[in-house]
Structure 1
Amino acid sequence: MVQQVSDAELELMRIIWAKGGRVLYAQIMDELAAAGSRWQKNTVITLLSRLVEKGLLKTNKIGRRNEYAALVTEADYQALQTEKLIKKFYGGNAKGLVSTLIQRDMLTAEDYEELRQFWEEDNKSR
């Protein structure tokens, strides 16, 4: 079971996913710097170690450098977290989540139309 991650850990995972699921430590630091982050080396190493412990990453040694590889895709992580959210806040009822999105104007008419089309296409393929 994949554990939930902190916002900081998620930021690192997004960098790794954006780079195709495999990245060197130096590339992570470059991406953080480009985004204006001033995280220290020890902070990043600690966060990466936590992600390894949580089963989201594995480490490969390439000479003296560490390569980090995602063990979970971004889509799979999103799906797992969405399932947890629905169970926790809506008692497992996805319709409750959709109702909230509609009632709070978080789902536009365009979003609704795209979802309707997706639903129809998905039902045709089954």
Structure 2
Amino acid sequence: MASLISDSELEILKIIWEQNRNMMFSEIVDELHKKEFTWKNNTILTFLSRLTDKNMLKVQKKGRKNEYIAVLTEQEYLKQETTEFVGKVYEGEVKGLIATLVENDLISDDEMAKLKEYWEKNAE
């Protein structure tokens, strides 16, 4: 299971997932700047190094430059994080999570209707 990642590290992963391809450092920096992140190159390199240490990214040398490859897809990451969260917070009981969402008005009637529709369509 992956180590916890910071919000900043997640932003970098999101960029790689959005591009849906391996990315060079300069491409990641460009995308971060487009999203108005003003991190210095050394900070970005630190985040990339941490993601590599946490086995979220692999690095492949392209000449003297590094190409970064996501180890998990976004869907795989979301599944892993959700499973871990439900297991830790709700002792594996999804019902508890849904009850919390409903009781605290964290899910709209429209979202509930869509969820019910999704459930009925995929329950077969």
Q: Same fold (TM over 0.5)?
A: yes
Determine if the alignment matches structure 1 residue 30 to structure 2 residue 30. Answer: yes
Identity of aligned residues (%): 38
Which amino acid in 2 is paired with 1:15?
I
Q: Which moved more, 1:93-102 or 1:19-28?
A: 19-28
Q: How many residues align?
A: 124
Question: Structure 1 stretches of 5 or more lacking a match?
Answer: none
Aligned twin of 1:53? 53
Aligned twin of 2:73? 73
C-alpha spacing 1:101/1:21, structure 2 compared with 1 (3 Å)? farther
Determine if the alignment matches structure 1 residue 63 to structure 2 residue 63. Answer: yes
Pairing of 1:95-106 with structure 2 (within 5 A): 95-106=95-106
Which amino acid in 1 is paired with 2:120?
E
Determine if the alignment matches structure 1 residue 120 to structure 2 residue 85. Answer: no
Please state how far the C-alpha of 1:40 moved relative to its aligned partner: 0.8
Which amino acid in 2 is paired with 1:45?
L
Please state how far the C-alpha of 1:64 moved relative to its aligned partner: 2.3
Aligned twin of 2:4? 4
Q: What SS class does the counterpart of residue 92 from structure 1 fall into?
A: coil
CA distance in 2 between counterparts of 1:34 and 1:123 reads 41
CA distance in 2 between counterparts of 1:116 and 1:20 reads 31
Q: Deviations over 1:48-83 (max 9, x none)?
A: 011111111101112222110101011111111111
Pairing of 1:12-23 with structure 2 (within 5 A): 12-23=12-23
CA distance in 2 between counterparts of 1:110 and 1:39 reads 38
- Aligned-residue CA RMSD (Å): 1.1
Q: Which moved more, 1:40-49 or 1:82-91?
A: 82-91
Q: Extract structure 1 runs of 4+ deviating beyond 3 A.
A: none
CA distance in 2 between counterparts of 1:25 and 1:74 reads 20
Q: Deviations over 1:66-112 (max 9, x none)?
A: 11010101111111111111122111111110011111111111111
TM-score, with structure 1 as normaliser: 0.92
Please state how far the C-alpha of 1:117 moved relative to its aligned partner: 1.3
